[in-house]
């Protein structure tokens, strides 16, 4: 059962009741919270007790990292609420099959599945107390009018959860829109509901933008929040043009509520609930892989968990004045980093997804959608949806030129390029604009 007072308390904390005057003060506070959290987890989680091998809580930065495969392999002894992986998968699977997500809980613990970008899906467990904390924090960071002002939220995702439904209270209305339903049905529901806040993956937001331009949607939202997929610069540009407003983002995954945009539209890490170590891939361009420690959850402890994401830290602090780390861009998964052959040396050159995205987008304003997939052989498959008045051949030539310029700048050889039809449709599969895939 949710507790309105707990929700209100976490809302107040996230809205600024808890303040730090300097970054050093914030980091000292985090350190104290993490050490207390580690001691609590050590007492409750058999997996972590063994994994940490008697190390002192104050030496938590030397604890070995975990990742999704480790968490799933040791799920039964890692969580502290006595739920086995088998029963969690059965319950979550039944909810997925029936599309009824209201009964997805065991002994007061909400159970859900992550959407899984590449089929490697994870389980998340959230207690009532943690759900209240999440609800209060999310409402504080995302709602434009505050907790007690009316808002109608439309939430698009592949699967619903009691966790998401928990934001429905008081003057806040919430409707879940199942991405597996036909788009025309979703658009008709949107037109009837007329939500003031849209929360959806960028691929779905693009379809809603098309419906708006066609006159099928007539209501302009007060706030648009991108979730679940990387917000590509092309999608951001189109959505901003159509809806004439800042497109906000949430950085949320199985492992926690990791980031949200401020009023300036800058994504900040939620360092009031998670600690994020930066494993730099390229210090010069500020790209790093996050290693997260969530000191707000104990049901499914996440401590020194290495994500598979590439983030780019902002070069300058945000004008909003927040002490929390500002993120310039979430690029995508480490697995989707491409590799080209060096021109003069027998080695592979790392080509980050952002390099490819910017090259393709720069080629022509006629590109409405695109995907670039590198196959196991190394060749690139480029698919595009181009404005009907543009010359497809001219756009292809321009894309090839831009990718060739990129390869020259990186001192590598451009792989063989194949242009193939653009076939992606929003729904159960996450959109990845740049992807590396084995044949």
User: Is residue 352 located within the same domain as residue 264?
Assistant: no
26 with 59, same domain: the answer is yes
Residue span of the structural domain in which 253 resides = 4-333
Q: Is the pLDDT of residue 118 over 50?
A: no
Boundary-marking domain end, from 280, 301, 333: 333
Q: What is the mean pLDDT of residues 431-436?
A: 89
Do both 354 and 296 map to the same domain?
no
Judge contact between 238 and 226, C-beta under 8 A: no
Question: Same structural domain for residues 350 and 308?
Answer: no
What is the pLDDT, as a whole number, of residue 426?
72
Q: Which two tokens stand for residue 132?
A: 């209240």
pLDDT band (50, 70, 90) for residue 164: low
Check whether residue 341 and residue 296 sit in a common domain: no
Which pair of tokens denotes residue 168?
């429905």
CATH number at residue 26: 3.40.50.12780
- Domain of residue 370, CATH code: 3.30.70.2210
- pLDDT at residue 111 above 50? yes
Reported as a single tens digit per residue, the pLDDT across 245-277 is: 999 999 988 778 899 999 899 999 999 999 999
Examine the domain organization and report whether 242 and 110 are in the same domain: yes
User: 336-375: per-residue pLDDT in tens?
Assistant: 889 999 988 888 888 988 899 999 999 999 999 999 999 9
Helical ranges in 215-297 per DSSP H: 233-243
pLDDT at residue number 239: 96
Q: How is residue 277 written in tokens?
A: 């170590």
Does the structure show a pLDDT above 80 at 26? yes
Task: Say how many domains are in the chain.
Answer: 2
Q: Which of 282, 255, 369, 278 is nearest to 327 (CA)?
A: 278
Yes or no: say if 357 and 434 are a contact pair by the CB < 8 Å rule. yes
Q: Are residues 206 and 306 in the same domain?
A: yes
Q: Which of 72-81, 224-233, 252-261, 390-399 shows the lowest per-residue confidence on average (mean pLDDT)?
A: 252-261
Both 369 and 326 in a single domain?
Answer: no
151-to-45, 144, 172, 265, 424 alpha-carbon distances in Å: 40, 9, 5, 20, 32
Which residue has better confidence, 74 or 161?
74
Rounded-to-10 torsion of CA 165, 169, 174, 176:
20
**Does residue 45 share a domain with residue 13?**
yes
Long-range contacts, 175-180 (Cβ 8 Å, 24+): 176/101, 178/99, 179/204, 179/426, 179/427, 179/428, 180/99, 180/427, 180/428
Q: In the structure encoding, which two tokens stand for residue 248, read together?
A: 């906000």
Same domain, 306 and 341: no
pLDDT of residue 121: 66
Same domain, 182 and 270: yes
Which of 288, 307, 333 finishes a domain?
Answer: 333
Domain boundary pick from 333, 364, 385: 333
- Average pLDDT of the chain to the nearest whole number: 87
pLDDT recorded at residue 99: 66
**Residues 235 and 197 grouped into a single domain:** yes
């Amino acid at each position: 059962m949710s507790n309105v007072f707990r929700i209100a308390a976490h809302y107040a904390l996230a809205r600024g009741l808890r303040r730090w005057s300097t970054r050093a003060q914030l980091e000292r506070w985090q350190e104290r919270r993490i050490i207390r959290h580690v001691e609590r987890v050590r007492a409750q989680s058999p997996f972590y007790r063994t994994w940490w091998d008697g190390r002192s809580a104050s030496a938590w930065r030397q604890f070995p990292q975990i990742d999704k495969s480790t968490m799933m392999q040791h799920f039964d002894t890692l969580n502290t609420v006595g739920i086995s992986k088998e029963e969690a998968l059965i319950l979550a699977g039944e909810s997925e099959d029936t599309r009824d997500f209201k009964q997805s809980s065991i002994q007061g613990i909400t159970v859900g599945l992550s959407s899984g970008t590449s089929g490697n899906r994870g389980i998340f467990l959230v207690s009532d107390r943690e759900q209240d904390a999440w609800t209060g924090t999310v409402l504080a960071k995302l709602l434009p009018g505050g907790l007690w002002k009316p808002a109608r939220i439309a939430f698009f995702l592949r699967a619903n959860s009691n966790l998401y439904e928990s934001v429905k209270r008081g003057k806040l209305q919430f409707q879940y829109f199942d991405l597996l339903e036909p788009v025309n049905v979703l658009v008709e529901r949107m037109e009837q509901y007329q939500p003031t806040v849209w929360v959806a993956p960028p691929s779905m937001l693009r379809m809603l933008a098309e419906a708006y331009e066609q006159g099928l949607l007539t209501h302009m939202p007060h706030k648009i929040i991108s979730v679940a997929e990387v917000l590509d610069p092309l999608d951001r540009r189109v959505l901003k043009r159509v809806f004439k407003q800042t497109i906000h983002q949430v950085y949320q995954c199985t492992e926690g509520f990791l980031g949200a945009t401020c009023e300036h539209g800058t994504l900040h890490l939620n360092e009031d609930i998670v600690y994020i170590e930066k494993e730099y891939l390229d210090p010069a361009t500020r790209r790093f892989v996050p290693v997260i420690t969530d000191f707000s959850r104990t049901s499914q402890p996440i401590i020194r968990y290495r994500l598979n994401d590439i983030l780019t830290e902002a070069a300058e602090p945000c004008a909003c004045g927040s002490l929390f780390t500002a993120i310039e861009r979430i690029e995508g998964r480490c697995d989707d980093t491409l590799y080209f052959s060096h021109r003069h040396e027998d080695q592979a050159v790392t080509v980050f997804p952002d390099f490819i995205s910017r090259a393709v987008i720069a080629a022509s304003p006629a590109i409405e959608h695109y995907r670039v997939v590198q196959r196991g052989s190394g060749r690139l498959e480029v698919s595009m949806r181009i404005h009907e008045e543009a010359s497809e051949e001219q756009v292809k030539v321009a894309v090839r030129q831009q990718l060739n310029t990129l390869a020259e700048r990186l001192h590598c050889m451009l792989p063989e390029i194949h242009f193939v039809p653009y076939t992606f449709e929003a729904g159960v599969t996450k959109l990845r604009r740049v992807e590396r895939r084995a044949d």
